[in-house]
Chains A and B, each alone.
Chain A
């Protein structure tokens, strides 16, 4: 089975919005979206049971995302495809899902896996847009996934309890962050990752028209940045062995116990 994992590269820390562009400041250190490590782990788990299967990472992001994406190769994915373009910056769901779908159409995987959410946007929506563009069935929020006889079964939690959903392959699945425990890349994996195929492709090469990418291709916009309503004072302590006593003092002062 060929499995494509959609992997996003996100700012590692110090998340701030650029007041000028009103976009997320992506200039600092980059990292693999931690929720996508679960999707990669799940792909590797499914692959392990099947000879001749392949795991390919598909990402849409800046060219310098390549290095952070290699973590997925170091975990065990076979190759990666990075869609990157100057014109892609500022893409929203409509534009990003369009670009990713174009790449996935070329790859034709039987299974497309997404992580629970992108840690920088918290959308938790991409899989549904991809399933629509690829005209495939969808199972989201999957906490347990099984495949047999070309059929997927996913257990997912909703507001009302757990559902069990079935869908034939090819399909799109979004996994929960509790579906597995992602492995850490081994030293051998990290060294081996450098030699695995890593393709960087511009949007134009996939036939993404310039007016369908970036801000031009987006259907949402940010008008203004403001302050959220003020919240109460927050107090912070570091445990030096006396944290339990300090918590008690705090709770007594607040009359919480």
Chain B
């Protein structure tokens, strides 16, 4: 058996989740776990991979791999899987890797299981642990034939430093004509102004249920009364209602405050992975079927426009008393 972990990088750093996945697989022992890093001017990254459990690191270094776009990476992986007889390719889920994994699945007619919270081996056979239906069931999933492809849910494994050293092997990069048609015009980076919500003890978060950007004032007032910070979902950040720096979830921040009050947020998995570590979760949502009620400690079915201002008033009164 040979398992390959795709290591994503951003600038000079390997992405923590992908190192976490590498560590988890290396820890299960047995086989040699190798890793692939694909980028441009990335020799320096191979060492890091060794320290986190890779025995062998394939380096695909090519100008076409400079931008974090998926299609050229599918080309690299497809060739590597075939040449090296790799039977399992594992990715830590990100915007980039989901597209790489799905493209590879179609290229190689290889099964892809996503959103896994673990990958275990029973008599050498890999079994994925996949929560489904708003995490109300846990499935054991598997693959028919090889190679097998797996995407591991965001934030599942912490990197484990083992201090090993990897054998580095450069790989040739051959590209399909359509793979380089999409190009990066501008790669903006996170602007980090203001206090970080990651350190806040109390967070009041708003979603599309607010109805419009002006209603974030309701959230801000409650947060102020509680001495907390304001957070937002991707839906409202993408819509330009609130800055990206305040976003919680898969492509935003991961927070674990003492108290998280979610207002007008449906509670999608991609939001949940960023806030499930909160000690107490309160959700206000008018839809009794909203997924967030599955994991809120207190679920309040009602209109946030009614409830939030009253709550703010009560908190203020208590403060004043």
A220 near B251 with CB under 8 A, answer: no
Given contacts A93-B102, A157-B95, A158-B96, A219 and B109 within 8 Å (CB-CB): yes
B178 near A137 with CB under 8 A, answer: yes
A contact face: mostly helix, strand, loop, or mixed = mixed
Given contacts A124-B98, A138-B99, A244 and B307 within 8 Å (CB-CB): yes
Query: What number of A-B contacts does a CB cutoff of 8 Å give?
Result: 275
Chain A residues lying within 8 Å of B105, measured Cβ to Cβ, are 93-94, 97, 125, 129, 219
Q: In whole angstroms, how far apart are the Cα atoms of A111 and B157 in the complex?
A: 38
Given contacts A126-B102, A140-B95, A247-B298, A157 and B110 within 8 Å (CB-CB): no
Asked whether B14 is an interface residue with its Cβ less than 8 Å from the other chain, the reply is: no
Asked whether A110 is an interface residue with its Cβ less than 8 Å from the other chain, the reply is: no
Chain B residues lying within 8 Å of A125, measured Cβ to Cβ, are 98-99, 101-102, 105, 112, 114
CB-CB contacts below 8 Å: A200-257 with B: 218-229, 231-239, 243-248, 250-251, 254, 256-257
Closest residue of chain A to B311, judged by CB? A244
Q: In whole angstroms, how far apart are the Cα atoms of A33 and B69 in the complex?
A: 27
Q: How many residues of A contact B (CB 8 A)?
A: 82
Closest residue of chain A to B319, judged by CB? A257
Asked whether B82 is an interface residue with its Cβ less than 8 Å from the other chain, the reply is: no
Given A160-B10, A219-B105, A223-B142, output 11 extra A-B contacts at Cβ < 8 Å. Answer: A93-B102, A93-B106, A94-B110, A125-B102, A125-B105, A136-B181, A140-B70, A157-B238, A238-B300, A257-B202, A257-B318
Q: Provide a sorted-by-A list of 18 A–B residue pairs whose CB atoms are within 8 angstroms.
A: A92-B112, A93-B112, A124-B98, A126-B102, A128-B101, A130-B106, A140-B95, A140-B99, A161-B189, A176-B235, A219-B145, A220-B142, A226-B139, A228-B136, A228-B137, A229-B138, A256-B258, A256-B259
9 cross-chain pairs, A with B, having the tightest CB-CB distances, nearest first: A239-B302, A219-B111, A178-B238, A128-B102, A244-B310, A125-B102, A137-B181, A220-B111, A137-B182
